[in-house]
Amino acid sequence: MMNLRNLLLACALGTGALATAAPAAAQVYGGVYVQVGPPAPVYEAVPVSPGYGYYWQPGYWSWTGYRYAWVRGRYAYRPYYGAVWHTGYWGHGRYGWNWHPGHWGRPY
């Protein structure tokens, strides 16, 4: 009887330890939802453009599976005349925070 009680206690403690060690994200409907919101954006000085037709894409917070990591901004060549970069953002929904990636498009 003593061994059964010890086994049940070990199982209960192990389950609690796993629950606290699990990452703060869940896979839901093909998208990653994070339970903790992203930190404040990092200020980046925009360097001089490398040439005509380049557009600045600002940095953003990326989710690594365990934590947020800052991805630095960069210049990218416009895919067509008049294209502007619509910056990605973290949106909060009913399952947590999820990333909406940036994309090229027409001005709003």
pLDDT digits (tens, 9 = 90+) for 1-30: 445 555 455 555 444 444 434 444 443 444
For residue 80, tell me if it sits in a domain: yes
Is 62 part of a structural domain of the chain?
Answer: yes
Q: Which domain holds residue 99?
A: 24-105
CB atoms near residue 94 (< 10 Å): 6
Instruction: Report if residue 4 sits inside a domain.
Output: no
Domains in the chain, number: 1
pLDDT tens by residue, 60-105: 999 999 999 999 999 999 999 989 999 999 999 999 999 999 999 9
**What is the average per-residue pLDDT within 31-57?**
92
The answer to the question of residue 67 being in a domain is: yes
Chain centre distance of CA 74? 18
Tell me, yes or no, whether 16 lies in a domain: no
Inside any domain, residue 3: no
Q: Say if 13 falls within a structural domain.
A: no
